[in-house]
């Protein structure tokens, strides 16, 4: 898997879904808030024959939530993802890195763009974190963080939601963010909103 394939796998693993009809896989989809339409347009340029849709709906948090939906109605891409180990059922629990050679940095950037959080706390400390129910994804992300920071991570599931919140703060967070940004170039897939936040964090003293 090249850099963009690895990124897409990570993003789809956290934010995407398989399209099915009568129990058979017919394609893939990703839905994001309208603010992240630049990423969806990147995906449409990257994957030929894909489509973009828009919709408004009521959610628990907003009366009129506007979203943008990327969809691809062919079987070749989902079949390829499944061959790389993408879970067909309950990916929130079964999510894991690909079972083939992949670009580790691009993959984790995709995961963070999908289910991660980055920012600056009220006390001025930078942070990066990932929320997941998957035991395997948690273990592999902890290994990735240790490679960069030199620190061991082994969080417990929180009692309220039974999920892992894995992350780091301050200088360690900056090291991870810098690593995630190192291989971004003009042809890279990335979420502009989080990319700008990463730039902001790295500019802080």
Q: What is the pLDDT of residue 205?
A: 67
Residue 23 has pLDDT above 90, yes or no: no
Higher pLDDT, 62 or 103: 103
Angle, CA 59 vertex, CA 157 and CA 159 arms, to 5°: 15
Half-sphere exposure of 144 (CA within 13 A, CB side): 27
Proportion of the chain above pLDDT 90, given as a percent: 82
Q: What is the pLDDT of residue 124?
A: 86
Residue 64 has pLDDT above 80, yes or no: no
Q: What is the pLDDT of residue 48?
A: 93
Across the chain, what does the average pLDDT equal?
Answer: 93
**92-119: string of b/e by CB count within 10 Å (b at 16+)?**
eebbbbbeeebbbbbbbbbbbbbbbebe
Q: Quick one: pLDDT band at residue 71, thresholds 50, 70, 90?
A: very high
How far apart CA 180 and CA 198 sit, in angstroms, is: 9
Q: Please state the separation of Cα 169 from the chain's center in Å.
A: 19
- Backbone φ/ψ region at 64: left (φ over 0), alpha (ψ -120 to 50), beta: beta
How far apart CA 155 and CA 146 sit, in angstroms, is: 13
Quick check: helix, strand or coil at residue 20? strand
Residue 60 has pLDDT above 70, yes or no: no
- Residues 27/78, Cβ–Cβ less than 8 Å: yes
Question: For 37-49, what is each residue's pLDDT tens digit?
Answer: 999 999 999 999 9
What is each CA distance from 112 to 56, 95, 128, 176, 205, in whole angstroms?
25, 14, 9, 11, 23
| β-sheet bridge partners, residue 94 | none
- Residues 47/72, Cβ–Cβ less than 8 Å: yes
Question: For 111-158, what is each residue's pLDDT tens digit?
Answer: 999 999 999 998 889 999 999 999 999 999 999 999 999 999 989 999
């Amino acid at each position: 898997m090249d850099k963009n394939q690895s990124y897409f796998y990570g993003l789809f693993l956290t934010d995407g879904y398989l399209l099915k009809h009568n129990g058979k896989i017919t394609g893939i989809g990703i839905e994001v808030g309208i603010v992240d339409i630049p990423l969806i347009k990147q995906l449409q340029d990257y994957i030929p024959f894909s489509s973009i849709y828009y919709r408004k709906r009521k959610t628990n948090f907003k009366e009129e939530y506007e979203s943008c939906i990327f969809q691809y109605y062919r079987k070749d891409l989902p079949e390829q993802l499944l061959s790389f180990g993408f879970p067909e059922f309950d990916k929130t629990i079964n999510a894991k890195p690909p079972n083939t050679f992949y670009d580790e940095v691009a993959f984790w950037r995709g995961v963070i763009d999908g289910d991660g959080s980055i920012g600056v706390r009220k006390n001025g400390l930078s942070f990066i974190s990932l929320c997941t129910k998957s035991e395997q994804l948690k273990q592999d992300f902890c290994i990735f963080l240790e490679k960069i920071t030199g620190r061991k991570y082994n969080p417990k599931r929180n009692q309220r939601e039974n999920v892992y919140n894995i992350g780091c703060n301050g200088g360690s967070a900056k090291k991870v963010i810098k690593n995630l940004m190192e291989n971004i170039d003009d042809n890279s897939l990335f979420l502009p909103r989080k990319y700008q936040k990463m730039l902001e964090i790295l500019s802080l003293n």
